[in-house]
Chains A and B, each alone.
Chain A
Amino acid sequence: MQEKALKAREKPAALGPDLDIKSFTRDVKSWPNCPVRSLPKDIAQQSLNVGVRTDEKGRAGTYFQIDHSTVFGAVQKMFEGKAEIMSTEEALEKYDWMEDYWWKLVAVDVDKYTALAEFGWDKGYFIRVLEGQKVTLPLQACLFVSKDNLNQNVHNIIIAEPNSEMQIITGCAVHPNVQRGLHVGISEFFVKKGAKLTFTMVHNWAQNFDVRPRTVALVEDGGTFVNNYVCLKPVKSLQMYPAAYCKGVNSRARFNSILYGTKNSYLDVGSKVVLQGVGSRGEVTTRAIASDNAQIYARGLLVGEQEDSKAHLECRGLLLSDSASIHAIPELVAKVKGAELSHEAAVGKIAEEQIQYLMARGFSESEAESLIVRGFMDISIFGLPNQLQDEVKKMVDITTARAL
């Protein structure tokens, strides 16, 4: 593993601006373990903004990491024996079988960021729901950066055992003092037979922050993987292209992304679904808004490798400024006949007739615009349970209201 990683140490990523890893620091004090409720107010507030509640209200369990330290990781009492949540470091010590999941979906030598996560590994979360268990409340995880110019490299493992069901909400956030930094996140998802996993990730980075997540999911027979992503705050550069392999018969994968690019943000976000199982289905839905000088690349790739497989890709982009840009790149690759792949993409500014229509209902021009923009970022596409949907909607509404 180390040998492979060593070879990829200088290898730039296929997409996104190349970063000088050495310009970030790895030197940071460690945080002690503590009850998640006792975290300082400013950290609690920032984590709440990405959907992670330090009061744990309405959550089945929590993982909280600050910089390189795991601060907290446990499920609530009523979910003990159903689900577990801890750092991947602890999980590797606890379970021999972790070797079967570690670096099994994401290759360590993809690029210098995966290599970095091997050499400079800073924990990450391990979340597992046991066979047949349906966890009724969302599990939550927060990856927090408190020090300026820090490099944080997490490696997460998420396992939905056969016929289990779970919702996960994860948030990445930085302390208001943090301007610059590099976050690398390796995530490997295992959705086993008949399991259903909905993963919702909210990112709130800083204007000079660089982010390189590397994510792969494997979906077995009858399994469903839903990956929701929300990015609302400015970020210097974010490049990711998560992939889901629908290997099982009747397996399903869905990627929903809401990207709100502001200021000088560079967002290069793709979603890839590979249909390998008979009857597998994929769906990619992206809503991208670019304002100020934001540059957004919205990519999508559907690969049909099996007969009787079907997938659809939909990308809508809304341009709010003349100096911003949205580049939609939908790709379809059919390798066998009987793989049915389709896409639709539309990029443009707000239609004048929509504004006029709403003004004819008494809204001012700016009210009409904000209504249309908020409507555009319609999080009902995520298919979340009501309470979580309300929480995420609130986050989106607050950010949009501020941005407009």
Chain B
Amino acid sequence: MRDRGLFWTPVPDWAEAELDRSGLRVSVTRELRQLLLVSGEVGAFISRRGVSGVLGPRDLALGPAYALRLAPDRVLCAFPSEHPVDLGWSEKGFAVADVTEGIIAFDVEGRDALALLQQGMSYDLTALDSRPAESCNIVLAGLRVAIVRRPEGWRLHVERPFATAVWTWLKSSIAHVTSSGA
């Protein structure tokens, strides 16, 4: 029986993983120390943690800490440092789960970042108008990623089991990128 381990690219060493070419750089985010999934009264949670508001996919995440809207009552909160948090239910009306270890985030930066992402994403990242109900969970190359705009490009939050697939896609697609996006 064929060893399917030979077919699939081995999981990269995430500490070393990086793609670099003129106008485009993809790397594993190192600045996130805590990722929390929060449901319910998310406003009550994020206000206590110094996050200004909930972002949609068209919004710009300026600071190191941010909250991404995944569903009307669910956010993914990202922090540059780890703080103690009570997991589970809070009397304030929200539930918290720690998903720091379950997500690998990639930064896609450079002038061709948009052209690269548009190869796998039907969502219109060029439009800048914010739409209140939009989820940051978007399908890229057939896989779900939570995306947010950063000053230098975009950040993709990928479930760890599919991180290798997204990485393989990024690596394959980078060859097709042209500056014009055409």
A, B bound = no
Task: Give B contacts to A, CB under 8 Å.
Answer: none
Task: Give A contacts to B, CB under 8 Å.
Answer: none
